[in-house]
Amino acid sequence: MSIRSLDDMKRPSPSVQRLIELKICQPSDIKQAEAEAEKLSTPDFSAKLRRAEKLVGAIGDSNRMKILLLLSKREMCVCELESALGLPQPTVSHHLGLLEQADLLRRSKKGRFVFYEVQNSPVLDLLKSLMS
């Protein structure tokens, strides 16, 4: 990559200009950051970011974290989770729905009971490591 002058790039913000004037940053560093940011804006990468955002949002609640940790031990029905967490059934079902939409849970029906289990997920591994 060739080193570009300030005149060859779009005009940097005043704070970036100051960093360049103080020789803290080089114009080539700014151009490289712009090129990297452009790669992060491709449709493919944007889809990956949305998926990551959905996963992070799904575990961004302490009750959902507890549900994932409980279900990592074994499959449970909604009523078991309701009892274990001391939450009303609609609240548990809401949290389960969000986790299921993020593809973190798998559901099965046994008679009139709905059971949930954790899908194999690096998110669960991350959660467990954060809790240890």
Domain encompassing residue 24: 11-39
Task: Name the burial class of residue 14, with classes exposed (0-12), middle (13-18) and buried (19+) by CB atoms within 10 angstroms of its CB.
Answer: exposed
**49 domain residue, yes or no:** no
Shared-domain flag, residues 31 and 67: no
**50 domain residue, yes or no:** no
In this predicted structure, the answer to whether residue 6 has a pLDDT above a threshold of 50 is: no
In this predicted structure, the answer to whether residue 125 has a pLDDT above a threshold of 70 is: yes
Interacting residues of 77 by C-beta distance below 8 A, sequence separation 6+: 110, 113, 114, 115, 116
Are 90 and 62 spatial neighbours (Cβ–Cβ below 8 Å)? Answer: no
What is the number of structural domains in the chain? 2
Shared-domain flag, residues 70 and 34: no
**95 domain residue, yes or no:** yes
Confidence of residue 43 (pLDDT cuts 50, 70, 90): very high
Average pLDDT, the chain: 88
Shared-domain flag, residues 85 and 31: no
